[in-house]
Amino acid sequence: MTEYLKAWQCIGCGKIEAPQTCIGVCQDRRVEFVYAADHKELLAQLRASERHAHAACALLRRLASTKPHDREWERSYRVIQEQARRVLTAIGSEELQESQGAAGRSTLRESNVAGATLPSDAAR
């Protein structure tokens, strides 16, 4: 898991300092930091994108591996088309909840493509 460094930041100039016991070999180097809140937000967005990709891949896998019987092409197409609509609706619903500040990550959980819910992070 990610290890966080606790530090002090100057409210005037923005300097960041994390005092440590000096062992006599210190050198200052330029480093880059990301605020923990920004990191958490981007991590949540990444996980949502992974869920969306997983749902889309499951549907594509189903489409690629399905061979309808003779004269059943249209019915099979319509079923997969409906499943695709459900996945897109679930993705749109999750994005709407996240944009409204709701905890959308916990409302859409994994079942299957036909059910059109998205996989949770815990299911991985």
Asked if residue 22 is part of any domain, the answer here is: no
Domain with 75, as residue range(s), is: 36-123
- Model confidence pLDDT, tens digit, residues 86-101: 999 988 888 878 777 6
* Residues of the chain by 3-state class (helix, strand, coil), percent to 5: 50, 5, 45
Share of the chain above pLDDT 70, in %: 77
pLDDT score of 59: 92
Check residues 17 and 20 and name the one with the higher pLDDT. 17
Is the predicted pLDDT of residue 39 greater than 80, yes or no? yes
How many structural domains is the chain composed of? 1
Is the predicted pLDDT of residue 118 greater than 70, yes or no? no
Asked if residue 63 is part of any domain, the answer here is: yes
The sign one gets for the Cα dihedral 95, 97, 98, 103 is negative
Tokens of 107: 């409302």
Do the Cβ atoms of 68 and 76 come closer than 8 Å? yes
Residue with tokens 């605020």, as numbered in its chain: 35
Asked if residue 57 is part of any domain, the answer here is: yes
CA distance 108 to 105: 6
CA angle 94/124/87 to nearest 5° reads 35
Is the predicted pLDDT of residue 112 greater than 60, yes or no? no
Asked if residue 111 is part of any domain, the answer here is: yes
